[in-house]
Amino acid sequence: MKRPLLLLLIAAFAFHGCALAEPDARGTASTQAAETTEAAAPVQAPPVVAPTIVARFPHDPGAFTQGLLWHDGTLYESTGQLEQSTIRKVRLEDGKVLQSVAIPPQEFGEGLTLWKDELVSLTWQAGVAHRWALKDFRPKGNFRYDGEGWGLTTGDDALIMSDGSPILRFMDPSSFTERGTLLVHMPDGRAIPQLNELEYVNGSILANVWQTPFILKIDAKTGLITQVIDCRALVAEVAETDRDAVLNGIAWDAKGKRLFVTGKLWPTLFEISVPGL
Res 199: pLDDT: 98
Overall residue count recorded for the chain in this entry = 277
145 pLDDT band, cuts 50/70/90, is very high
Residues 6+ apart with CB under 8 A from 68: 75, 76, 77, 78, 112, 197, 199, 249, 250, 251, 260, 262
Res 241: pLDDT: 87
Task: Tell me the residue type at 56.
Answer: R
d(CA 193, CA 198): 13
Q: Could you report the per-residue pLDDT of 75-126, keeping only the tens digit for each?
A: 999 999 999 999 999 999 999 999 999 999 999 999 999 999 999 999 999 9
**Runs of H (alpha helix) within the chain:** 3-12, 29-34, 232-238
> Is there a contact between 137 and 87 (Cβ–Cβ < 8 Å)?
yes
Give the mean pLDDT of 10-37. 36
Per-residue pLDDT at 17 exceeds 50: no
Residues 6+ apart with CB under 8 A from 31: none
Residues 6+ apart with CB under 8 A from 158: 170, 171, 172, 173, 179
pTM for this entry: 0.85
Task: Tell me the residue type at 65.
Answer: T
d(CA 197, CA 124): 12
Number of Cβ within 10 Å of residue 208's Cβ equals 28
State what percent of residues in the chain have pLDDT above 70: 84
40 pLDDT band, cuts 50/70/90, is low
The secondary structure of 196-248, three-state, reads: EEEEEECCEEEEEECCCCEEEEEECCCCEEEEEEECHHHHHHHCCCCCCCCEE
